[in-house]
Chain A
Amino acid sequence: MSEPVSISASAPAAAQASAPAPVSALNGASFEGMVKIREAGACGMITLRGNFASEAFVSAVKSASGLDLPGIRQVVRADGMTLGWMSPDELMLMLPYAEVPGVLARLNAALAGEHALAVDVSDARAVFVLTGTRAREVLAKLSPADLAPGHFAEGELRRTRLAQVPAAFWMTGEAEVTLFCFRSVAGYVMGLLTTAAAPGGEVGAW
């Protein structure tokens, strides 16, 4: 990569016994500035499309993930599963990478006959974790979304634009934001984040 700021890469976690270790977009690159930025490595993702008003769809999602459907723009979490509202007919289920085939099989069995779709998209995206009290500030430099405290809080998943590419993020703690973008633009997003989080770039508006 050609980012101006030094970014260290660490080897991904040990592979599962049989399957080869998944290779994430930036191989776990990290950066420390105003906030700590870390590419989260391989994360399991299942995209779900269906009719949210259908009982069969809701109960299939519930039985496979243990989670109720999130409300508009909400994200719900429990036991390593995260379920986010992406659009009026689309959900994103995030879970440990190795659990995807099992959960997907359960989903597809439960959704049989239903006009719905569950697809493994784990390798289509890159996930970043921003840690630090200024995480909001870093994102606010890059996105038109209103991230002021009180307007954006834990529990909301915001799909928006980071400079020139689409991304989605949600707060996973008071000072932690998880973000994903398409894998093909992972290097670009890492560049954006490291520039926005460069030491000395504090805005201090909040």
Chain B
Amino acid sequence: MSSSLRLRAAVVSIALFVTFLAIWHLATRGAAPATNMSPEYAKLMGATATAGKSAMPGPLDVGAKLWEHLRRPFYDNGPNDKGLGIQLGYSIARVGLGYLLAVIIAIPLGFLVGMSPLVSRALDPFIQILKPISPLAWMPLALYTIKDSSLSAIFVIFICSVWPMLINTAFGVASVRKEWINVARTLEVGTFRRAFTVILPAAAPTILTGMRISIGIAWLVIVAAEMLVGGTGIGYFVWNEWNNLSITNVIIAIVLIGLVGMLLDQVLARVTRLVTFPE
């Protein structure tokens, strides 16, 4: 039953996708007849003016271009012409670094906040104020203090992914069942061992949920951050191709951003499943 449901869902998905491609194709193909203009002028004007073709690329254009990119993902022809693999690599590396930094800071701090009501109350106003700030608002300050655009992007990733992790870790740690803590206490388990053998495994699913939210936000923010700082990365690529008026490349970049985001989320989802325990 469930396999047949999966099969039917896949069929519907594919049908939807094909319909979408067909509509897209029909909407962007050249329709109007060629106007009478001198051949040289027509050459200047391009297919948009002569054949009534839409300025929007069709699925076939995008497909052809994508194939071209996939064949040479890592070429490097200078600052403004790098393969998509390189651009995505830069973005993933920035997200990875900023995210890792956030994990190193947020999880121990979250433990502290979750275990100590005093620290929790003391830090609460700061967290409440800092959390809703758009990570990009930090950018000028980061650029001014760090004086390095690439590091500033990493800082922005750090600052946007730290909050969900911090809040979820604190919540997970604070809501560990009292009876599990009592078991550790009656067994005279020390604070340090208790943190690793009881609190960490008990809070792990909540912590991982926070990490999963964070990676999603980090991947959202990197595109915007790279548009601002420029130089390399998939966000810069999108903006650069917009300046080149290459809508085809912009569409390809959008699709790839979606795919990479999904992969990152899936990795975290897999890890979450590993640490989740049934009760």
A associates with B: no
Task: List residues of chain A with CB under 8 Å of any chain B CB.
Answer: none
